[in-house]
Each structure stands twice: as structure tokens, then as C-alpha cells.
């Protein structure tokens, strides 16, 4: 894997943050964020996009868990998943 320079990383992170803000502000209308999603995907390596998507979902889950907003069925299914 080649080294990714600082400007490239900073652009990726900036676009990612803009995309996440859009998602957080438009929870019910994610299609409003499609242009930012495309920019995110074109500005970051594909493996980073997958990682950041998973991280964003996990961060949302942690916030909901802290606020007691996670359904108990969801918690049970997480606990029952096999560990790798």
C-alpha cells in the first residue's frame, strides 16, 4: 500500500465529517446527503470508507445505548453473535 499524504488524508477526513453532519441533520431524508456521499467515496480509499461507515454506526449505537434508547432485542442479538 502506498503512503497517503497529509493533504489527501485531511481532505478525506473533512469530507467524511461533512457527510456525517449531513446524515445527523437529515436522519429521515438521507437522500439529501447523496452528493456528499459520492464526494466521500471519491475522496477516501475504499477501505477507509467501509471503516468510517462502521465507526459512524457504532458511534450512533453507543450514544443511543448511553441514553437508554437501544431496544433490548437489539442488545440480545448483539450478545448472541459469535465472537471471531
Eight-state DSSP code of residue 26 = T
Exposure class string for 15-37: b at 16+ Cβ within 10 A, else e: bbeebbebbeeeeeeeeebeebb
Instruction: Give residue 7's pLDDT band: very low, low, confident or very high (50, 70, 90).
Output: very high
Residue pair 17/24 in contact (Cβ under 8 Å)? The answer is no
Structural domain boundaries in the chain: 6-70
Mean pLDDT of the chain: 85
- pTM exceeding 0.75: no
Q: What is the DSSP letter of 62?
A: H
pLDDT at 2: 63
Structure confidence at residue 52 (pLDDT): 96
Amino acid at each position: 500500500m502506498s503512503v497517503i499524504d497529509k493533504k489527501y488524508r485531511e481532505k478525506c477526513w473533512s469530507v467524511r465529517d461533512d457527510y456525517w453532519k449531513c446524515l445527523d441533520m437529515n436522519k429521515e431524508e438521507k437522500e439529501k446527503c447523496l452528493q456528499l456521499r459520492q464526494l466521500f467515496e471519491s475522496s477516501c480509499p475504499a477501505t477507509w470508507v467501509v471503516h468510517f461507515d462502521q465507526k459512524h454506526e457504532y458511534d450512533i449505537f453507543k450514544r443511543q445505548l448511553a441514553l437508554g434508547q437501544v431496544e433490548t432485542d437489539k442488545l440480545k442479538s448483539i450478545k448472541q453473535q459469535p465472537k471471531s
